[in-house]
Amino acid sequence: MSRSLVIIGGGVAGLAAGCYAKMNGFDVEIHEMHHQPGGLCTAWNRSGYTFDLCIDWLTGSAPGSGLYPVWEELGIVQGRKFIDPEYFGITLDETGDRFTAWTDPDRLMQEMLRIGPEDEKFIREFVSGIKRLMKVEMPIDSGLAALLKFLPALGTYNKYSVPVSTLTERITNPRLREFFRNTYDWHDQSAIFLMFMLAYMARRSAGYPLGGSVPLVRAMEQRYLSLGGLIRYGSKVAEIMVENGRAAGIRLQDGTAVRSDLVLSAADGYSTIFRWLPGNYADPRIQELYRTLEPYPPLVFVSMGVNADYSKEPWTLSFPLKHPIRIGEKEVTRLLVRNHSRDPSMAPRGKSVFTTPIETDYAFWEGIPYHSDHYRTEKDRLCKEVPAALEEVYPGIRDQIEVTDVATPHTFIRYTGNWKGSYEGWLMTKKTMNLRFPQKLRGLSGFYMAGQWVSPGGGLPGAATSARSAIKLLCKDEKRSFVTQTA
């Protein structure tokens, strides 16, 4: 009789863990709190427009990448068309001058030299670093073999492991320094993480999948179901049951007990460790991680359906605001806007979708009751102020907007349960890059973890590869060989 495994969470990590567990002969049941799969890899429809929260590119989207076989195993690249971006982003300064962050390293070098020729040494070294990383794969598995493959990048890794904000201090030209920071810096993220991403784009292996997040997630769900897995939606966990130091199943919020031989949580890390296992297995190291490490900040995510064709405009644009937007105590002085017109499935013909992720303060939203008058007032204000800000670079767009939608940290928590409304777990910083996050808890057997809270940097690669390594670890504990198969 097959050993049974219950998986908490039907996002990318949960679906991937389900696929790998089924490939290895386990009887698997996924419990997902929402009514659809994907977790944070999601989109929603409003009046014919699709507002996509997640995917701008899929790292490892082309054959030859070390990640590509993983995506083949999970069934998400077969038959899918990808668009490789020519540029990472376009950034405007206060004078209206623009910086184009080309994905071709040589074009990027020329663009940077155009603005700051006196920084030629820094520019050439930065671009050379990207080119070196183009020849190296980010490790998928741990162990000596993976380390040996990574050795050629070790010097670059050490040199650029600093935050992007620190790296910019090496730039002499003030205009180039500001362009670089406003284009590449995102909440003190490590520069090497950025450079790996640029290397994948330069190799044309970080393409955007036409259709966006939902078709990709549905393909993974179908892969899991085709392997014989079961998934239950609208199934909220209240407790991970433990008997004699071993995970014995889950108890749902309606009181239903679901017994199993093994349990894997691919859900929010804080909820898993401190609520469903109420801190009983949080050793001092885990408590220290949750006390000191910085998660990705929560977002206000504003989406707009526009009755006009903006397909000739940049797909991503960062620009300064003449009139800052205030959210709580935080003043927003620059917007990053994504134009989804490169994907015709996002809007009716002749129309467009714009989205803008705005970093926000969780404490501010935590103090506003969900669905209160205050909450509605804040959302209504943003529905007016963000389109007014877009008017600064797209004159007339405010009158063309037919639909506006605002997702807040409350929205993220409602649909995913993510701690503090974070959208990607732990930030990829110099500190977290060198940490190994436990996928098992000391003192609790038969229990495993996968997802963005055990894989700093978040994203689809971290979710999928952490799930793969969790099932590999599970197979080792169960004394069976880990096997995979392509869809």
Dmax of the chain from CA atoms? 70
Question: Are 92 and 320 a contacting pair, CB within 8 Å?
Answer: yes
Distance between CA atoms of residues 137 and 62, nearest Å = 13
Which of 130, 120, 103, 106 lies closest to 176 in space, CA to CA?
120
Instruction: Name the CA dihedral angle for 390, 394, 398, 404, rounded to a multiple of 10 degrees.
Output: -50
> What is the reported pLDDT for 114?
98
DSSP 8-state class, residue 392: T
For 300-330, the pLDDT digits (tens) are 999 999 999 999 999 999 999 999 999 999 9
Q: Which residues are within 8 A (CB) of 458 and not within 5 positions of it... i.e. 6 or more apart?
A: 296, 423, 424, 425, 426, 428, 452
Q: What pLDDT is stored for residue 144 in this prediction?
A: 58
pLDDT at 431: 81
Residues 6+ apart with CB under 8 A from 342: 83, 208, 311, 315
Residue 4 backbone dihedrals phi, psi, to 5 degrees? -95, 140
pLDDT at 145: 60
CA distance linking residue 452 with residue 364, whole number of Å: 24
The superfamily CATH assigns to domain 4-46+212-294+424-477 is FAD/NAD(P)-binding domain (3.50.50.60)
Per-residue model confidence as pLDDT tens digits over 109-151: 999 999 999 999 999 999 999 999 998 877 677 665 666 666 7
Kindly tell me if the per-residue pLDDT of 424 is higher than 80.
yes
- For residue 148, the model assigns a pLDDT of 65
Q: Quick one: pLDDT at residue 153?
A: 75
Smallest CA-to-CA distance from 205 within 85, 95, 330, 76 is with: 85
Determine the Cα–Cα distance for residues 53 and 63; give it in Å rounded to an integer. Answer: 26
| Per-residue tokens: 108 | 């990027």
**What is the spatial distance between Cα 322 and Cα 389, in angstroms, rounded to a whole number?**
8
- CA–CA separation, 397 vs 308, rounded Å? 8
Q: Please choose, from the candidates 213, 430, 159, the residue with its C-alpha nearest in 3D space to the C-alpha of residue 340.
A: 213
pLDDT score at 143: 60
Do the Cβ atoms of 383 and 304 come closer than 8 Å?
no
Neighbouring C-beta atoms of residue 158, cutoff 10 Å: 10
Q: Which two tokens stand for residue 33?
A: 């709190």
336 beta partners: 318
Q: What is the mean pLDDT of the chain?
A: 94
Residue percentage of the chain with pLDDT more than 70: 98
- What are the tens digits of pLDDT across the range 193-242? 899 999 999 999 999 999 999 999 999 999 999 999 999 999 999 999 99
pLDDT of 427: 85
**Cα–Cα dist 120/125, whole Å:** 8
Query: In the prediction, which pLDDT does 98 show?
Result: 96
Between helix 213-226 and helix 12-23 the angle, nearest 10°, is 20
Mean pLDDT, rounded, for 363-380: 95
Contact (CB, 8 A) for 7 and 448: no
Cβ neighbours of residue 245 closer than 8 Å, sequence gap 6 or more: 443, 444, 445
Q: pLDDT tens-digit profile of 264-279?
A: 999 999 999 999 999 9
Quote the pLDDT of residue 147.
Answer: 60
Instruction: State pLDDT tens for residues 30-75.
Output: 999 999 999 999 999 999 999 999 999 999 999 999 899 999 999 9
Alpha-carbon span 439 to 450, nearest angstrom? 7
Pick the closest to residue 164 from 187, 191, 182, 183 (CA basis).
191
Q: Residue ranges per domain, the chain? A: 4-46+212-294+424-477, 103-203, 299-416
Residue 399: is it exposed, middle or buried by C-beta count within 10 angstroms (0-12/13-18/19+)? exposed
Number of Cβ within a 10 Å radius of residue 120: 12
**pLDDT value at residue 260:** 98
